[in-house]
Every structure is written in structure tokens, then in C-alpha cells.
Amino acid sequence: LAKTTQPISMDSYEGQEVNITCSHNNIATNDYITWYQQFPSQGPRFIIQGYKTKVTNEVASLFIPADRKSSTLSLPRVSLSDTAVYYCLVVGGSQGNLIFGKGTKLSVKP
């Protein structure tokens, strides 16, 4: 399973764009990249998923370069409620299990 590396923590202010980069140097051809958000005492919540290039949904964008060895989660105009831990995961195959790394604790300040 591809191991992921991401910053332990990040600070931001309300209204700013936040970019969290994740390294996954050993990603395999069939693997895809997925990001989750977790608030304290809650289960993780799916944010976005992609295989290559750029994916955008109503809450975030995911940028994946051609070599797919890294990915960047972009949160536009964060608010205080975006304070959470964000996990980058690499998943392979059909219903492969999710192995969580340490995640990035994002703190958004007023």
C-alpha cells in the first residue's frame, strides 16, 4: 500500500485559500487518491477523490500532477468550521481497505 506523507499541521485565516499537499511516491497504476475530513469525535467525511489531473466539487479541488507522486487538496475561502484534520489516502483496487496516515490538522483563525 502506498504510504502518504503530509504536514502535521497548518494554520490559516478565514477567507483564505488553503492548499494541503500530500506525497505518495510509491503510488501504483491502479491506485487512486482520496481525501477525508474529520472533526473531533466524529467519523471521517469524504471530501474528494481523483486519479489524475484536476477534480473539483462543491467543497474542494484536487490537483494531481502527471507523475501522480503527490496531490494537493485546495480549500477555497476557508471558514472557522473548516478547522479539522484532513487525511490523504491512496486506495488500490476494488474495495481496498483504507489505511490512514497521520493527517494534517488545519486550524482556521478569525
Partner 1 sequence: GAVVSQHPSRVICKSGTSVKIECRSLDFQATTMFWYRQFPKKSLMLMATSNEGSKATYEQGVEKDKFLINHASLTLSTLTVTSAHPEDSSFYICSASLGQFYGYTFGSGTRLTVV
Binding site for partner 1 (CB under 8 A): 32, 34, 36, 41-46, 49, 87, 91, 93-95, 97-103
CB-hemisphere CA count at 13 Å for 40? Answer: 4
Nearest to 55 by CA among 67, 68, 78, 73: 73
Minimal distance in Å, beta carbon 65 to partner 1?
A: 21
Minimal distance in Å, beta carbon 71 to partner 1?
A: 15
Pick the closer one to partner 1 by CB: 43 or 110: 43
Pick the closer one to partner 1 by CB: 13 or 46: 46
Pick the closer one to partner 1 by CB: 16 or 96: 96
Minimal distance in Å, beta carbon 15 to partner 1?
A: 28
At a CB cut-off of 8 Å and minimum separation 6, what does 47 contact? 35, 36, 37, 59, 60, 73, 86
